[in-house]
Chains A and B, each alone.
Chain A
Amino acid sequence: MIEIDTVSKLFGAGDSAFRALDRVSVTIKENEFFTLLGPSGCGKTTLLRLIAGFEGPTSGKILLDGQDLADKPPYRRPVNTVFQSYALFPHMTVAENVGFGLTMLGKPKSEVAATVSEMLALVRMTNLADRKTSQISGGQQQRVALARALAPRPKVLLLDEPLSALDFKLRKEMQLELKRLQSETGITFVFVTHDQEEALTMSDRIAVMSGGTIRQIGGPREIYDQPSERFVADFIGDTNFLSAEMIARTGDSAQLRLGQGAEVTARAGQVDKTSGAVTLAIRPEHARLVALDAGQLTGTLDDIVYFGTDTHYHITLDGIGTRFVLRRQNSPDEMRPVQQGERVGIALASSAGQVLKD
């Protein structure tokens, strides 16, 4: 439904121009909760602003339902934005803010009033309708911004880090609320965040961005389990990176020899190599502590960090010196107690690893 076709955006001109987006292509489907995830400065806001029409692409096209948006100013696009700073109108009440879009579209007063109360009910703000926006809390402002952007029933709702200013508990609450609103309204959400956990829990699909490019697009599970490259694996969750030698390859399955000599199988993913040196990514929860000679790797236990629900074991691998982190969920049936400084074995779950693109 939204097609972003090799879009680039340069700020400035000539040699000093800064390339904020570099040939970005992605198709966002109808009724999808789509997330742009990436570190600060990677171009997420820029991409949203191009879709909203506040800025034009330097090259490339943006289509909505097959129609080129190039000559449409923001007020002619059926797209609304929830701004990072909320951008509520300080000289209007909550209800006037929510009704602004419909009023500008020339809807009759009765229809505006009806939609406003419907929207305020949707975000549970009915009792504060007549307050000034400066007289409500941050979480409430967030809801008003949401109601204001949803009221005109846009085809696409753009949300720029809408939860980043909220405290932890409120953020969790609003995450569920956003999911509910998206499924109730059936509007396509394009959601921007730099919080990988938020992206994983909320999205139908995620585009991981870095340095103005999209590095990987996929469902949360795919992004987490099968990161295509080191940046994605590193940015999303914790990952151990091991150097390995590919010795055989059949389709998606690769046979690797690790630095300490053991052989493992791993998913080859999008790597086209059939031999040679590669990097293997292994999630901390995909390895177990075992007796010294019972695993594929051995090392010395440096640190044991207790996290409540689970415990992290930091191990320096014998011979290679690489740090390996292993995570184990705490349970009442405790395993054999291990001590700092002890030498241990590490067993990797079969086919748990992912070979990364260089």
Chain B
Amino acid sequence: MILAKAKQPFNVIAVHIVLLTYTFIALFPVFIILVNAFKSRKAIFNSPLALPNADTFSTIGFEKVLSKADFLLLFGNSLLVTVVSLFFIILFGAMLAWALSEYKFTGRTLLGLFMAIGIMIPIRLGTVSILEIVVALNLVNTRTALILVYIAQGLPMAIFILNEYMSQIPKELKEAARCDDVSEYQIFFSIILPLARPAIATVAVFSMIPIWNDLWFPLILAPGESTRTVTLGIQQFIGQFVTDWNAVLASLTLAVIPILLLYVFFSKQLIRGLTAGAVK
């Protein structure tokens, strides 16, 4: 009896070496930050690559940072802005996508093109006017201003993805409902929205990351103490602490950890969302 070895048409070991090397390159900087955030200043400089041990372990950085800044507030702001924006991007995006894919009305193509501009042209380029509008509406230094801008920013991509998906929903489903005299709103909320869940997940993934990580609009529209997001907070914070390594490393760690934790739980959905378009 011959036990055949698994034979691949490529050099498995070489492939793993390349991938491992790159994974190392991708993770090393993050690792260094996380490790050193929990060490004393001396240890950070003397043995930056070592894991913290009984001698070197220290949370002095976190103590300093947390006493000087309200991280909970920063996170709260980021979370609020991201979640509310996401909710409305999905709701309004789905409604528009549904109207565009389902109903024939004059100006439909034009409306589609109009909304598509936002996919290609970054909203940042309208900042001068956005600021003027926000000032006029008396929304400077509010989270509402950020939310409105992020909804406008997220809608085009959301509509694009959802429209594509909704136009593939079988006609029979809607027509059966219409025969039963179900209202158009009910069709949308109780049939179409639940069916579009996979596409909605993709939209959520695509919209969430840029909102959470954005520096530009928080800096310009809502830089105030009480409305700062994490990204902006960290940026300003580290500026004050440049020479206090413990504090800098602790701030970075505080910014990274929640994202990493979320990623641990949702990476599957996230990556599925990112690759969804092609894998159908």
- A and B: interacting chains: no
Q: Which residues of B are in contact with A by a Cβ distance under 8 Å?
A: none
Q: Which residues of A are in contact with B by a Cβ distance under 8 Å?
A: none
